[in-house]
Amino acid sequence: MILKKRKIVLIGCGLVGISYAYSLLITGDADEIAMIDTDKKRLSGEIDDLCHGLPFAAKNTEIYMGSYLDCKNADIVVITAGVAQKQGEGRIALLKRNREVFSEIIPHIMSSGFTGIMIIATNPVDLMTSFARELSGLPYTKVIGSGTTVDTGRLKFLLGAYYNLDPKSVHAYVIGEHGDSEFVPWSCANIATKPINDICRENIKYSLEDMYSIEERVRKSGTSIINFKGATCYGIGMALNNITRTILCDEKTILTTSCMLMGEYGRSGVYIGVPAIIGSEGVSEIIELKLTENERHKFSSSCDFLIDINRAASVH
């Protein structure tokens, strides 16, 4: 039996894109990776460097410099391309500049005949995912943003360290905008099936104040890493790999991706980070958490913030 090759097209091969490609090679989750970037000289060097590690990788993945024609038969197109935020630059200016990048890229993708799933990692990711869906005309279930996946990973890591547990045993999410208005719905956070709120109330070793401190560390993690090393890349690269594997293997895993709400949480037409079941068809279901009144207010405010930024960028 001839098995269909699992093909990824990666557009944008800066630090995030290369970290994602490297992660794919290590885990062997793709059979073929076509890479596209405007800087072809640097891309050629990156591909050679990656290929030299293939003898030590999980499988002999085919990786090469591609073109937009490669999108035609791709299972997934991942876009990490975009301009970096300048010092002092606001969200509206960044959104407008990256919209210009997508206005160039996405028509080329769609003219190839692409019908697969599109994953967006370019910031501001919730708004860029919405723009990608608008430009592509793909079903909203097939255009997915990285959302708060990396933020949720940061949360689980910090909680695992705090409780001295494997982070995989922590069941908690960061939801909302991938940015300052994101938050942790602590009422839905559990270790095994026990609510973290109850653990903190019953055991003097732990406290809710520590939980709020961890939440703030998560919120500021991206900025902290950028201040130390100039960019974040490994965490988001591995998060993108996780989304990719979930799709290619039809795992039906719940991930906090940026998805379009269609009545969930009382909102519609806005892309935002929420727990969703991800599989071979993209988003099959958004999981609506049972939020407290205060958490619902935070979530609604996060939605409103995204809508306001999008509207302002469209007007100016």
Active site residue 178: yes
Reading phi first (left if > 0) and then psi (alpha if -120 to 50, else beta), residue 35 is in beta
Beta carbons within 8 Å of 88's beta carbon, 6+ residues apart? none
- Strand 282-286's sheet: what is its strand order? 62-65, 32-36, 7-11, 76-79, 117-120, 143-145, 253-262, 268-279, 282-286
State the angle between helix axes of 293-315 and 91-111 in degrees (0 to 180), rounded to the nearest 10. Answer: 80
Helices (H) and strands (E) in the chain, counts: 9, 12
- How does DSSP classify residue 175? B
* Count of other CB atoms within 10 angstroms of residue 126: 31
CA of residue 83 relative to chain centroid, distance: 17
Candidate list 52, 171, 178, 316, residue with the active-site label: 178
Strand residue runs (E) in the chain = 7-11, 32-36, 62-65, 76-79, 117-120, 143-145, 170-171, 190-191, 194-195, 253-262, 268-279, 282-286
Structure tokens at 184: 């942790």
Q: Taking Cα atoms as reference points, which of 153, 117, 145 lies closest to residue 258?
A: 145
Are 306 and 177 spatial neighbours (Cβ–Cβ below 8 Å)? yes
Q: Taking Cα atoms as reference points, which of 113, 149, 122, 160 lies closest to residue 278?
A: 149
Alpha-carbon gap, residue 171 to 147, rounded angstroms: 17
Backbone angles phi, psi at 203, to 5 degrees: -125, 120
- Give the catalytic positions in this structure: 178
